[in-house]
C-alpha cells in the first residue's frame, strides 16, 4: 500500500522490480542544483538576495494575529 507522500519510494521499488536502472540524466535535478548554486553566489555579494522583507502593512497584520486558538471538538 502506498500514499501520496511516499511516491518516490514506491517508484524506486517498482523500478528495481522491473530491473530498470535509475535515470541519471535528471534535468530537473540539474536545474535545481544550478539555480541553488547561482543564488548562493549572488548572496555572497548581496546577503539579502531572495529573501522577503516585511513591510509596515504586513507587520501590522501580524500584530493583529491571535496568539491563542480555541479548538472546539464536535
Q: Could you tell me the pLDDT band of residue 35, with boundaries at 50, 70 and 90?
A: very high
Total-model pTM: 0.43
Query: Tens digit of pLDDT for each residue in 11-33?
Result: 888 888 988 877 677 788 889 99
Residue 19's region, left for phi above 0, alpha for psi from -120 to 50, else beta, is left
Q: Could you tell me the pLDDT band of residue 39, with boundaries at 50, 70 and 90?
A: very high
Q: What is the CA radius of gyration of the chain?
A: 22
Amino acid at each position: 500500500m502506498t500514499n501520496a507522500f511516499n511516491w518516490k519510494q514506491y517508484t524506486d521499488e517498482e523500478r528495481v522490480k522491473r530491473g530498470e536502472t535509475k535515470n541519471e540524466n535528471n534535468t530537473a535535478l540539474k536545474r535545481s542544483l544550478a539555480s541553488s548554486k547561482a543564488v548562493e553566489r549572488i548572496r555572497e555579494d548581496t546577503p539579502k538576495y531572495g529573501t522577503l522583507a516585511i513591510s509596515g502593512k504586513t507587520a501590522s497584520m501580524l500584530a493583529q494575529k491571535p496568539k491563542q486558538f480555541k479548538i472546539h471538538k464536535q
